[in-house]
């Protein structure tokens, strides 16, 4: 079992396997401050990250605002990778901010992004960041130009190697690309959440050679919540046909969407980690893709 089974894509000059790992769940806190319970043991988290890397995961998604009173995702990654895995690409994001108590605040002003970048550098123990995504603050942020321009200056200064975007539309990609190269776009996307198809963003990224990196690909509309019982009969049927889990089918569908589409499922459970990585080898038939691609009926 290896993450390499799904093939590779380049984030700028960094080639990564298309199955990666999202570190948010390591802290017990989600993007909106939701929690799945207390954070896992620190040594367990480090072992989990090393287990992922040993199975070919060389793309880890994180952020300095992934923390709880007891855990920081960045510092766990720093500890796990301290043994010299220089080929692991760590992608972080800036924009939203939390105070030390964990309370969320409005989007940081452009001039404060350097402080966020430096905090990521400190926590990760690095002298530069592989990829930094500017996470847009929804409809309250119609333009990304000023913020992305500030990050482009930090890229020129050598603090950042590559830039990306998160939570954006096609118009923001065009706006950012006029300032500096964009290597990835990270948006919510999956079987139950296809706004990036409606806007043409997934296909646009493929045409431009930009990685499209879905988050919530398994959880879908449950967002930060842990995966619940599968309610889609189509997913269950395809899973039975392959002796796979519904989560594996959802990840495989995402990866089948295009060679430029990556996946960053997160978990704190070693067994689920193994299942997610095994999804790299799951091949769906055209008929199964057509079945899963049909519109999702409204339900409770």
Please give the positions annotated as active site. 66
Under the phi-then-psi rule, with left for phi > 0, alpha for psi from -120 to 50, and beta for the rest, what region is 234?
alpha
Nearest-10 crossing angle of helices 145-156, 170-177 = 40
Pairing of strands 59-61, 89-94: parallel
CB within 8 Å of 246: residues ≥ 6 apart: 230, 232, 235, 236, 239
Contact between residue 60 and residue 21 where contact means Cβ atoms under 8 Å apart: yes
Tokens 């409606």 found at: 198
Task: Report the distance separating Cα 60 and Cα 261, nearest Å.
Answer: 15
CA distances from 52 to 20, 60, 260, 276, 286 (A): 8, 9, 21, 10, 30
- CA within 13 Å, CB half, 175: 17
Question: What is the distance, to the nearest Å, from the Cα of residue 288 to the centroid of all Cα atoms in its chain?
Answer: 25
Residues 6+ apart with CB under 8 A from 33: 102, 103, 104
HSE, CB side, 13 Å, CA atoms: give it for residue 283: 3
């Amino acid at each position: 079992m290896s993450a390499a089974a799904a093939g590779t894509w380049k984030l700028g000059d960094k080639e990564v396997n298309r199955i990666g790992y999202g570190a948010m769940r390591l802290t017990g806190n989600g993007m909106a401050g939701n929690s799945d319970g207390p954070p896992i043991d620190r040594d367990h988290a480090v072992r989990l990250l090393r287990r992922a890397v040993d199975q070919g995961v060389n793309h880890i998604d994180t952020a300095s605002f992934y923390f709880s009173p007891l855990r920081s995702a960045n510092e766990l990654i720093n500890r796990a990778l301290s043994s010299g895995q220089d080929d692991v690409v760590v992608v972080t994001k800036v924009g939203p901010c939390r105070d030390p108590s964990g309370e969320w605040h409005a989007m940081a002003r452009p001039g404060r992004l350097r402080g966020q970048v430096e905090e990521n550098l400190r926590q990760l123990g690095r002298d530069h960041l592989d990829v930094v995504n500017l996470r847009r603050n929804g409809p309250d942020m119609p333009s990304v130009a000023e913020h992305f321009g500030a990050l482009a200056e930090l890229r020129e200064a050598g603090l950042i190697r590559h830039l990306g975007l998160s939570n954006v539309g096609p118009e923001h990609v065009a706006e950012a690309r006029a300032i500096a190269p964009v290597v990835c776009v990270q948006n919510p996307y999956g079987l139950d959440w296809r706004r990036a198809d409606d806007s043409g963003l997934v296909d646009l990224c493929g045409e431009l050679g930009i990685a499209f990196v879905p988050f919530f690909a398994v959880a879908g509309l449950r967002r930060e919540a842990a995966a619940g019982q599968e309610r889609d009969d189509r997913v269950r049927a395809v899973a039975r046909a392959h002796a796979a889990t519904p989560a594996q089918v959802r990840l495989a569908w995402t990866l089948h969407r295009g060679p430029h589409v990556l996946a960053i499922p997160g978990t704190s459970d070693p067994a689920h980690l193994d299942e997610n990585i095994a999804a790299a080898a799951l091949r769906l038939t055209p008929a199964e893709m057509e079945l899963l691609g049909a519109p999702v009926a409204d339900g409770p």
